[in-house]
Amino acid sequence: MAYEKDRSYATFERHDEYVQIQNTLVNQDLFVEPDTELDKKEVLLVSKLSVILNDYQEQSYLLDPFLESLLSPVINKFKGFVHDYSNVSGKVPSTRRVERLCLILYGYVKFRGYKIIVRFFPHEIADLPIALNFMLMQEGVVQHHSLWALRYIMMLWLSLVSMLPFDLAQFDDESEPGHAARSLELIGKTYLGKAGLERDGAALLLSRLYMRKDIKYAFPEFAIGSLQVINEIVKSGSVDQVLDLIPEYLEIIECLNEGSIFVTNTILRKLRAKLISRMAVRMLPPPRVRKRGRMLDASLSTTNEHETGIGEHEIPEVVETLLQYLFDCLQDKALYFDLRKGSHSIGSNVRDAAAYVLWSLARSHDLTSLQPYSNDLARKLVTVALFDREIHIRRAASAAFQEHVGRTGLFPHGIDVLRKTDFYAISSRQHAFIVAAPQVAEHLEYRPYLIDHLLQVVLRHWDVGMREIGSKSLREICKLNLLELGPSMTRRTTELLKSYDICDVQGALLALSETSAAYRDLDDPEIRDRLLREVSLSPLYKFELSLYPKTFSYLSFVDKDVIFGSRNGTVVAAACQLIGNAITLAEIELKERSSVLDWKKIIDHGLRYRLETVQAAAAAAYAAISEREDLSDDIRRLIKDLKSGLPIFQQSLANVLGLIDYNKCQRSLSPSLGYLLDQTKASSRAAIEVRRNSYRALPRILHTLSHNLTNSLSPPMVQSIIDSLLSGLNDYTIDERGDVGSWVRIACVQGLTSCISDLFAVAASVENFEEYLPLPKYQHAVAGILKQGVERLDNVRQEAGICFSRLLRLPPVKSGECVWSLPGLSLFEENFSMMDTTLPSWLARESERDEPPDWANGAWLFPRAVKLVTISEFQPLVLKGLISSIGCKTEGTHRPAAKSMSAFAKSLPASNDEGYSLTDLLTDVMGVARANATLNSVVVPVLQTLTILLEADALLSLVDTPLGVKKLSALLDLVTRNVGRFKNVQRIQESMKITVNLIAIEVVSRRAISCLSDFLVHPYPRIRADTAEYLYLFLQGTDALEIEEEAEEILLETEWSSDNAEVAKNASQRLLVLLLASAVVE
């Protein structure tokens, strides 16, 4: 389903609502200050107007037919306010109401653009002195710091009035000639130095003023604002105005190109390019009209078409200069242009166009002209093809590279590099960065440029995801020659660490962290530890490591305010990651003499941070340190400090306790397990996130200690972990976020799978294996996983399916006389194996073995899953899961589950002494309801399942056996007993539907009809009405009863939902008599 924001409209559907809100605001007195409550209401109304316009932002043209009617009252109110304020002294306006009125006007400007909205502004000659006096008032409301929208609207108004063809001198006093023009210029120059919309409005005002022929002007002091003015003049002014000032414009262009301050300002470079292009266009001669004629060629006796009046265009020389400037602008890093705007960036179109231009060069230029630039062009195209954020840019650069390789053959290692960066290789960002980039870096012609781009661009990118994957790519490239590239890269990151830009600091920390991880993969421990920490090495090694950096110590280069400042979570996470990867045992043992004194404080800060990603990084660092030193005392202190803290601290504690290496920290095992088990108890009041992390931590502890199981964990401890995970499968907690209990259930499914896999792996070395994992508990765990695999949530089913597939591949374990294997293994392999069983095993693709099962697809799953109820060890829990899916409101789950259950029931014999029968199925389904009689959340889906089976005629064959008849009678008793005492409307309705459907089965027909009175005269009017409606529809579609017209009239004409219960009672009695007369005698 599409999001509301993606909706397309055909007209302005919310017009009436918008007008009503706007009129409420416009009708307020601007000279009366609202009280606090009214002020809040008006602020909310303005926000509603903004929200409505935002909904139509992508289709703003829909408001065009309504613009005049919408704008007129707002503009008239605004004009009246300016007039009253200018002419009446002593009246103090409400700045908040004035601001709101201006924000309404600005909302239209933002929505439709100032060029369209300004047409509706007042544009009479008499408006100029009013607006001018309003803006020149020394202590007027226009000077209020919060009324930027007022100043912007006023300058738009003045820019419009300034364009009227009248002499400004008529507004001057005789003693002050030129006062009006100077005042307009003063207003424009005053706000030209401001940032934001005030500067835009001032630039527009000055440009309109300077385009008048009666105005002599000099450019204001050089700034962004003056460039905006000049651009407007060149765009909209006369050709003469442009030609007269060509030297000044060219001087400005040159000045911008030479000043280092200007070159680094993106906005100035953009305005410079805009000025150059507009000047070139305005200076081109107008196009000549082509006149065509026909002339008879006497020698050939044919007619030839020729053009007359076509001569050579005289292009001014300055145009060639401007074109050269434009070519220079195209080289302004077009392939890398990426400008951040809020939470996104602009520039992908520029990069795409640049790649296309380079692609076209291979087709339009010869080898001689391309030869000098081929190497540099190859490196830049490869860099973009590998490291651009957008997939279409990477593909465009790859296509350009391919075109040059195919047509010119000038690029170094062209064919080999193209194979590594083809269309498919760079389509995935992960593959482009992690696989393709190191492959290209094998060629020395490209390696330095790839590393430079990663360090200078990717690690400083505004997108944190780019910085993260860029650091991983840098690690893979450095691994090509780690002893040289690693230290060199490490030194180059130091400048980024000193930056105050969070992106730079985090990118540098990530690069150091990934390089440290690469160092740890070295086989020689002496080289590894010295690269991470020390500055000298045995002279036996050929390279001089005394010049190599100390990776871990570089963390001290980062300013503490950056690490411990607010909203710097990405830096904290990266710092923790560096600590975990780079710290050595020798550095830990230095304690207060460590090169980074605050490294423990950084980890502690990360554990208490509010973001889970930061907590995870801190926990990973803590775990890495626990592998090198016994942290038992620190862990005990951590449990004491955080167990009674905020939920966010507790979930961090649970996370870190699951990652500790308890082989090294044995003394902290007991308190850690005790805390985690306490959080997973049913009586625990811990937050859902804490319980989820605790359930995740328990199997991790077992995994950590599984290789030394008998010496580390006793059988009761292991069973307590498994029991806790089994209990978590029953967590169906719901809050405002939905079924948050699913987080726990997924964690428990994964945890049970991990525990079983780890225990099976060491079973051969454990003599008393049955004490660690009793066979019934193993079967119960598998049944619990299967139950989650057939329940209503797609994501839970999918995860359960993946985990069950892992269990399915585990070889059986034999200990003593017991064998731990899956009951019904042949059924599982037949229905749930992902390999094509029709092929010989040697032809089965290896990828099929690893392909995840599609358990989220109900149409694939449920026809197979219903067969699992025939396995007695799994039947109770699997059936309960299937019932919950049938009762699901999601169509993609309910429909296939219901259809599969009906088809399965029809395939079963009514009775079977040796196998599963329909009688057994009905007994088991009713057993679920009886065992959970007080839980409507369980009983209602059971009743829905029974209704579906009855409506599908799946239970008709039960009448052929005495036991089947007995079960049908028991079903009627189940749904009608104490029905008058039920309070849940849905439970009563489902019971009613079953009762009505049982009328069609002759062995219980008359009893079912007699029980209908409980529903037709129920105290709830809704139940009475629903029963009559359902019964009427049922009778219309069944041949079991011969219904008289009188019975139909009673059902249709009786006011069943009437407050008068006697009406329903009398009608029910008459109806039951008629139905019983029509029923077949049992």
Q: What is the mean pLDDT of each run of 10 residues along the chain (1082 residues)?
A: 52 88 89 88 89 84 88 89 79 87 90 87 80 82 86 87 74 69 81 80 80 60 65 76 75 67 66 80 67 45 42 67 71 75 76 89 86 91 95 94 93 94 92 96 95 93 94 95 88 86 93 91 72 45 42 88 88 94 86 86 92 93 92 92 89 94 92 94 91 96 93 94 95 91 96 95 91 94 95 94 92 88 89 54 42 84 93 93 92 93 93 87 94 91 94 91 92 90 90 92 89 90 91 84 82 85 88 81 42
Extract the tokens encoding 181: 């023009």
How far apart are alpha carbons 993 and 1030 in whole angstroms?
7
- The single-letter code of the amino acid at 176 is E
Enumerate the H helices of 762-874 as residue ranges. 769-772, 775-789, 794-809, 825-832, 846-850, 858-865
Eight-class DSSP state of 649:
H
Q: Cβ(883)–Cβ(893) under 8 Å?
A: no
Pairing of strands 339-341, 818-820: unpaired
- pTM greater than 0.75 (yes/no): no
pLDDT, position 846: 42
C-alpha torsion 504→509→513→516, nearest 10: 100
Q: Is 341 exposed, middle or buried (0-12, 13-18, 19+ CB in 10 A)?
A: exposed
What CA–CA distances, in Å, run from 995 to 894, 959, 961, 969, 1014?
22, 16, 21, 11, 10
* First-to-final CA distance of the chain: 52
The residues near 593 (Cβ < 8 Å, ≥ 6 apart) are none
H/E segment holding residue 818: strand 818-820
Residues near 923 by beta carbon (within 8 Å), at least 6 away in sequence? 967
Indicate if the alpha-carbon torsion angle 997, 1000, 1001, 1003 is positive or negative.
positive
Dihedral of the alpha carbons of 385, 391, 395, 397, in degrees to the nearest 10: -40
pLDDT for 536: 36
Residue corresponding to tokens 């050929």: 542
CB atoms within 10 A of CB 118: 17
Q: How many CB atoms are closer than 10 A to CB 260?
A: 6
pLDDT in the model for residue 314: 67
Residue 483 burial class via C-beta count within 10 angstroms: exposed 0-12, middle 13-18, buried 19 and up: middle
Quote the tokens at residue 611.
């973001």
Q: In this structure, are residues 56 and 12 in contact, taking their beta carbons and an 8 Å threshold?
A: yes
> Measuring CA to CA, which residue among 602, 619, 513 is closest to residue 565?
602
Residues recorded for the chain: 1082
DSSP 1081: P
Residue type, 138: Q
Note whether 919 and 963 are within 8 A (CB). yes
Return the structure tokens found at 410. 């000038």
Structure tokens at 370: 């391309």
What gap in Å lies between CA 62 and CA 43, rounded to an integer? 26
71's CB contacts (< 8 A; 6+ apart) are 105, 108, 117, 120
- 1002 token code pair: 């002759």
Distance of CA 436 to the CA centre of its chain: 27
Are the beta carbons of 470 and 433 closer than 8 angstroms?
A: yes
Helix (H, G, I), strand (E, B) or coil at 815: strand
Dist CA 702 CA 758 (whole Å): 8
The beta strands (E) that lie in 738-812 are given as: none
Residue indicated by tokens 């037949």: 830
Nearest-angstrom CA–CA distance, 199 and 184:
14
Decide the pairing of beta strands 339-341 and 344-346. antiparallel
HSE of 825, CA atoms in CB hemisphere, 13 A:
9
Nearest to 938 by CA among 865, 882, 893: 882
